[in-house]
Structure 1
Amino acid sequence: MTPGVDPTAYAPQSVPPPGETLKETLEVLGIPQADLARRTGLSTKHINQVIQGTAALSPDTALLLERATGVPAGLWNAREAAWRTQLAREEEEKALAEQVDWLDNFPLRELVSRNVLPDASKSVQNLRRLLDFFAVATPDVAQNLRLGYQAAFRRSTVLSRNEYATATWLRLAERQARERDCEPYDRAGLTALLPRLRALTLQEQGTWSTELPLLCARVGVAVVYVPALTKTNISGATRWLTSEKVMVALSDRFKKDDQFWFTFFHELAHVVLHGKRLTFMDDNDNLSPTKSHEDSSEDEANDFAAEVLIPAQYAAAYRKLAATRYLSLAAIENFARTIGIAPGIVVGRLQHDKVLPWTHGNNLKRTVQLG
């Protein structure tokens, strides 16, 4: 690729039609069109149509021209292909110019900040870049593909609420995850890794943000952090990229460690417990341990996350803590230290269980900032 050249920006090429090259070649060789027709066995009309560009220069014709002119067939084929490609690009340019309104659906300025687009202009060049970003041919294909994928999303209400911004966030996550090197998926290995992952909640973000993806990559889980986009309600997503590699994408929508870690283990539950053909998109409704869901997989994921964070062996101690009449922050910190987990996570659990008001204990939570 030439440095400084944008491969997605279309600029008309100066590729001459193969007929023009054939006409010049005949003039140099001093061969009239009628004589070329006799040498090749083609009609004079067909030779003239090739020269005028109204007939394609086929591979069979290229071989005949090679014998009659000495110019290799490969050159004639290359000229024909370059010419037809140029014509196709010009037609595509016209078609895309009528579809630039599709860009109105997307958070263009945020795509600029994520280095997907160079600017927020409503242009054919940006439309082409966005199609390349989603790896689709046209906006119509993208729409049909989205509808086809919808059946694989277990949280389709999220998509229907903010479908374009959500699709953009998911694509950002998927592209990042596909670039991450991972060992083949190992369910037993992931299960064995859970205590070590849980212990990371005690670490500062500068440590866990590096360790978490590295540890998970060893068992086939590509963990990626994708800051939330405006108008998306997504906390996390799980999607199998191959039968041996699964993406777990996490956003910073809630900005606090209790929500972040609950989301993470909720997504791991989808990996461990649920089907490889499904994509799970999770928002605040899914991540409520106190709410029953129509989709049992969400309740299962919530139970899994709650159990990992505060295991059953500490259930009695937690109930005792929750029953404390005058619950102090010091008591919460002491309990968290005893069970080896970040105190903000205990605060979040107590708030969900309505033991603490949402306004209390938040200073024990740590801020999560991705990107």
Structure 2
Amino acid sequence: MTPGADPTAYAPQTVPSPGETLKETLEVLGIGQADLARRTGLSTKHINQVVQGTAPLSPETALLLERATGVPAGMWNALEATWRTQVVQEQEERDLAGQTGWLDHFPLDALVDRHVLPDRTTTVANLRRLLDFFAVATPRVAEGLWDGNRTAFRRSTVTTRDEYATVTWLRLAERDAHDIKCAPYDRNDLTALLPRLRDLTLDEPQTWFTELPRLCAQAGVAVVFVPALPRTSISGATRWLSPDKVMVALSDRFKRDDQFWFSVFHEIAHVLLHGKRLTFLDDSDKLTSSDASVDASEAEANDFAALTLIPAQHAAAYRQLQARPTPFTRIEAFAASAGIATGIVVGRLQHDGSLPWSQGHRYKRPVTFP
């Protein structure tokens, strides 16, 4: 290979067709096609078709040729396999050359940044890389697969900003999740882990990105952090990778700890409460259980997250805080007594309409993925 050449680009094989090699072998041996037919018991027509490349050279024919020519059957089989692969690759090259426009649907900058593609060019080589990334054979197969998957997706909104960016984000998350080693999923272990996860809200954000995946992996949950892509609105997703391993993927879409931790427990709710056959994509503008358009599973996940962050034993104190949230020392005191980050309480008060959205943002810590 030429230094610097693209290893995925198709380059025609230099090996001759088995028919060409057979023709040359017969010339060297001084055997005609009719004579070879008599020696092998095959018809002259069939020998000629093999020489012309219009008939495949089968393993049975290869064995007969070994006896008649002395050339091992394994070599004839290898020549046939290599030649037929080359023919298929040449046909695929022609087919894919007319489909490179499919690349234009995808967030190419993000794919380059994640080293899926080397550049933004709409070439056959990049189309092959994209198909490898999605583990599909052709663009048509991919589209059909995604159409079928939509029936297994549960979403917090009916539509999304860009389906291609969405499937790209989800695939990036799946690849990262597959690399995480997890214990077999155990519902009791995950439930027992909830208080420890809630305690993490008090730690520094850089701790979250190591401790959250480490702890959840012990219960069979692969937690991954995938930065939000342009033209998507996903805050999180839940997908079972196998009966014993579930992926919880989180984006940095909202950039603040209150929404981040709500998304964490919202996705965990899907794991604990809902079926293994569905993929949950949470792509609403604001996670809320009061929106009548949210389906039952999303509303249930919202309620679970809200109650995990501010449990029932703190409900009375929280109602008092709602009635009089300022001065902010009151919010800080409630957060300390509840054992939760102040920014999460601020976000909850804003969501419940007890605090203007313009106030309290300094208590919310920024979320920036490593």
TM-score, scaled relative to structure 2:
0.96
Cα distance in structure 2, aligned partners of 1:111 and 1:159 = 23
Matched, 1:218 2:214: no
Match of 1:55 in 2: 55
- Report the Cα offset of residue 187 of structure 1: 0.3
Post-superposition offset of 1:38: 1.4
Given that 2:160 and 2:233 are in contact with CA atoms closer than 8 Å, whether structure 1 keeps it comes out as: no
Is 1:369 the counterpart of 2:365? The answer is no
Amino acid at match of 1:278: L
Paired with 1:185 and 1:3, the residues of 2 have a C-alpha distance of: 47
Q: Which SS does the other structure have where 2:234 is aligned?
A: coil
CA deviations over 1:34-58 (Å, ceiling 9, x no partner):
3221110112232222112122111
Q: Deviations over 1:266-320 (max 9, x none)?
A: 0000000000000100023461143234411111000100011011011111111
**Residue correspondence of structure 1 range 95-114 to structure 2 within 5 A:** 95-114=95-114
CA contact (8 A) 1:15 1:86 kept: no
1:341-367 CA distances to partner (integer Å, 9 max, x unpaired)?
111100100000111111110000011
Q: Go from structure 1 to structure 2 and tell me whether the alpha carbon gap of 1:158 and 1:215 turns closer, same or farther (over 3 Å shift).
A: farther
Aligned to 2:230: 230
Partners of 1:184 and 1:245 within 8 A in 2: yes
Once the 2 structures are TM-superposed, how far is the Cα of residue 161 of structure 1 from its aligned partner? 3.4
Instruction: Check the 8 A contact 1:18/1:51 in 2, yes or no.
Output: yes
CA contact (8 A) 1:239 1:279 kept: yes
Q: What percentage of residue pairs aligned between the two structures are identical? A: 71
Offset of residue 28 of structure 1: 3.1
Q: Partners in 2 of 1:182 and 1:314 — Cα distance?
A: 34
Which residue in the other structure is 1:24 paired with?
24
Q: Larger deviation: 260-269 or 66-75?
A: 66-75
Residues 159, 166 of structure 1: 8 Å contact kept: no
- Stretch deviating more after TM superposition (30-39 or 69-78): 30-39
Compare 118-127 and 10-19 and name the one that shifted more. Answer: 10-19
Q: Which residue of 2 aligns with 1:193?
A: 193
Q: Equivalent residues in 2 for 1:140-179 (5 A)?
A: 140-155=140-155, 157=157, 160-179=160-179
Report SS of the residue matched to 2:26: helix
**CA displacement 1:112-161 (0-9 Å, x = unmatched):** 11111000011111111111111111111111111100000111846553
Quick check: 1:185–1:244 contact (8 Å CA) kept in 2?
Answer: yes
| Pairing 1:297–2:297 present | yes
Alpha-carbon distance in structure 1 between the residues aligned to 2:327 and 2:265: 27
Write the distance in 1 (CA, Å) between the matches of 2:307 and 2:121. Answer: 48
Whether 1:72 aligns to 2:72 is yes
User: Counterpart in 1 of 2:86?
Assistant: 86
SS at match of 1:241: strand
Contact 2:233–2:285 (CA<8 Å) still a contact in 1?
Answer: no
Task: Work out the CA distance in 1 between the residues paired with 2:153 and 2:119.
Answer: 31
The 3-state SS of whatever aligns with 2:275 is coil
Q: Which moved more, 1:63-72 or 1:233-242?
A: 63-72
C-alpha distance 241-47 of structure 1, shift in aligned 2 (>3 A):
same
TM-score, length-scaled by structure 1: 0.95
1:240 aligns with 2:243: no
Q: Note closer, same or farther for the CA distance 1:5–1:68 as it changes in structure 2 (3 Å cut).
A: same
Q: Hey, what does 1:124 align to over in structure 2?
A: 124
Residues 156 and 294, structure 2, Cα contact 8 Å, conserved in 1 = no
In the aligned structure 2, how far is the partner of 1:351 from the partner of 1:160? 25
Instruction: Note if contact 1:159-1:167 (Cα within 8 Å) is conserved in structure 2.
Output: no
Q: CA offsets, 1:305-341, max 9 Å, x none?
A: 00110110111111111112x6122221221111111
Over the residues paired in the alignment, what is the CA RMSD in angstroms?
Answer: 1.9
Partner Cα separation in structure 1 for residue 134 and residue 187 of structure 2: 30
Equivalent position of 2:356 in the other structure: 357
Aligned match of 1:308:
308
2:117 and 2:126 in contact (8 A); partners too: yes
Say how many residue pairs are matched.
Answer: 370
Distance 2:122 2:5 in 1: 20
Which stretch of structure 1 is more off in the superposition, 247-256 or 286-295?
286-295
Check the 8 A contact 1:344/1:366 in 2, yes or no.
yes
- Alpha-carbon distance in structure 2 between the residues aligned to 1:7 and 1:243: 36
Aligned partner of residue 358 in structure 1, secondary structure: coil
* Contact kept in structure 1, 2:49 and 2:55, CA below 8 Å: yes
Query: Runs of 5+ in structure 1 lacking a partner?
Result: none
User: For the Cα contact (< 8 Å) 2:262–2:305, is it kept in 1?
Assistant: yes
Q: CA contact under 8 A between 2:235 and 2:253: conserved in structure 1?
A: yes
